[in-house]
Amino acid sequence: MYRALAVLGTCVVVCALPIPTGSAQPNTEPIGVDVPAPEAPPPPLPEAPPAVPAPEAPVPAPPPEAPAPEAPPPAPAAPPAQQAAPPPPPAPPGHVESTPPAETNTPDGWKLTLSARDETQAPVPPLTTALSSREYVVGGTYSGSLIAPEDEEEEPEGTLEVGYEIGCGIDMSTSNGVSLTGTAGINPSIGLFGTEFVDIAPEGVVPGLGGNLGGGVTVGLKPGLINVVPVTKKEFVGAEPWVMVSQFRVKIDGCVGESFIRSYAFITRSTKQSDAVLAWYGVTKKI
């Protein structure tokens, strides 16, 4: 490399020396022409150091895969369709709606209440099998309540009576009922014939015999009556007395036509100086 540079420099010096030229005019000085020396070539650039490969950029690690979303839990099974409430049990035979409670206030400040529930009144064939007899199977619960005034400390006592009234349209029990009457008889007789007014002597006599037979039916009826059939009379001590009647039979005889029945209850609060009586009557049922 240095040798090439030396050769190149020698050539440059030689070329720079003036060259004599001939001329027809000897007095004329030769004109030299300055030739600019060629510019020295720029020194060679130092060899670039071998390129160092750029470090490879680290390949970013792939982002971690997101976990697959968990499957949603299965929806809870739909609750079974709510079944309709079961129908109420059928009313017992002969069911009767009770009337509202009866209430009263006594002069000494007590409040008495009397009521009934679960009443039944059903007709049944009578044991006598008579058409004039009526028989019923009855039941119910009859409750009383005695509320004392604020300054009262004495525990109440008294009686609770329960029973039934049976009304009859036509009464045969206190009359002769149905009776049969009859008459019978024989009547002898004698007849005369051939008799004239001029001659009173009879010409003949004819005997005769006659009889009669009669009969009748008599029914003794009276206006209707009410037959009271008491069931129980409970003596109690306390503020909440009650009486329950179940499958109890009541009857009436000698009744013709329609009959009616209703329940009743009487509660009595008794003290040494007074009695307070409250009555309650049920629905009148035609049977």
Helix (H, G, I), strand (E, B) or coil at 81: coil
In the predicted structure, residue 177 carries a pLDDT above the cut 80: no
Enter the tokens of residue 252: 């009436």
**Is CATH 1.10.3720.10 correct for 95-165+228-286?**
no
- Mean per-residue pLDDT for 197-209? 57
d(CA 245, CA 189): 73
Q: Which of 269, 84, 59, 64 is nearest to 161 (CA)?
A: 269
Domain ranges of the chain: 95-165+228-286
Q: Are 246 and 139 in contact (CB under 8 A)?
A: yes
Tokens 């069911």 locate to 95
- By the 10 Å C-beta count (0-12 exposed, 13-18 middle, 19+ buried), 84 is classed as exposed
pLDDT in tens, 22-70: 444 445 455 444 555 556 666 666 665 666 666 666 666 666 666 666 7
Query: 157-171 and 222-237: which strand pairing?
Result: antiparallel
Enter the tokens of residue 194: 């051939």
pLDDT in tens, 188-202: 666 555 555 455 555
Q: Which of 211, 218, 217, 216 is nearest to 184 (CA)?
A: 211
DSSP code of residue 72: P
pLDDT in tens, 259-272: 899 999 999 999 99
Say what the pLDDT of residue 169 is. Answer: 81
d(CA 287, CA 277): 30
Say what the pLDDT of residue 206 is. Answer: 63
In the predicted structure, residue 76 carries a pLDDT above the cut 90: no
Say what the pLDDT of residue 25 is. Answer: 47
pLDDT in tens, 111-147: 999 999 999 999 999 888 888 888 999 999 999 999 9
The confidence band for 216, taking pLDDT boundaries of 50, 70 and 90, is low
Least confident piece of the model among 68-72, 78-82, 180-184: 180-184
d(CA 147, CA 271): 15
Say what the pLDDT of residue 109 is. Answer: 92
Enter the tokens of residue 73: 């839990």
Angle at the Cα of 255 from the Cα atoms of 254 and 258, rounded to 5 degrees: 170
Say what the pLDDT of residue 92 is. Answer: 75
The confidence band for 72, taking pLDDT boundaries of 50, 70 and 90, is confident
